[in-house]
Amino acid sequence: MTNHSNKEIRSELDRMLSGDLYHASDKELTARALKGRLLMEKYNQTSMVDREERAEILEEMLGSVGEGCWIETPIYFDYGSNTKIGKNFYANHGCTLLDVAPITIGDNVMFAPNVSLYTAGHPIDSAVRQSGLEFGKAITIGNGCWIGGGAIINPGITVGDNAIVASGAVVTKDVPENVIVAGNPARVLREINADDKAYWEALQAEYHASKELEQAE
């Protein structure tokens, strides 16, 4: 007879965060989800002028959050506590972060309206799916990324540094750094290159020169 006495008993939380099958109705998970969603509800009811209160709620709700983070309302999370956000993050209205698995967002990232990050997945087999078992796969957004309006990032995806995801794109494969992707399913349109840098830096210099002239007059 096999001895199971030394076998480790894993919590549903551990299973969920590890990307294994888990049951979302677990008491610990439902308590964590309720806490996060009550904080989310509180955040969504704040005024945009209540910057200090908003920052305090984000600190309590999220796994971690860097300086200079601004999230427009409404924002939607599964847990909130499984999401880590870097410095100078901006999210426009209506974004959804289903963070049953970890979501990690780097520094200087911008989300347009209605961006959705879905870590949650369900079994393909109907009977297993109906049993209530599900799973999640972590999503990572690198530094300096811009995610366009209505874009969807699917479970398990990594978006490389400085990449741009076009509006309406459905990302089903990892995105390399320094590229623009678009479409459904999203594909690489082109690399972001030295010509892009020169063009936008010239416009930036022109802007600053015009401001200096205005101030001199």
Residues β-bridged to residue 98: 118
- Which residues does 188 contact at the CB level (< 8 Å), separation at least 6? 175, 176, 179, 180, 181
Could you say which of 4, 93, 122, 208 is catalytic?
122
Q: Compute the distance between CA of residue 209 and CA of residue 217 in angstroms, rounded to an integer.
A: 13
Q: Compute the distance between CA of residue 155 and CA of residue 187 in angstroms, rounded to an integer.
A: 17
From the list 68, 139, 54, 78, the residue with the least C-alpha distance to 108 is 68
Is 122 noted as a catalytic residue in this protein?
A: yes
Q: Compute the distance between CA of residue 53 and CA of residue 189 in angstroms, rounded to an integer.
A: 41
Q: Compute the distance between CA of residue 103 and CA of residue 40 in angstroms, rounded to an integer.
A: 16
From the list 72, 55, 58, 109, the residue with the least C-alpha distance to 87 is 109
Q: What are the residue numbers of the active site?
A: 122
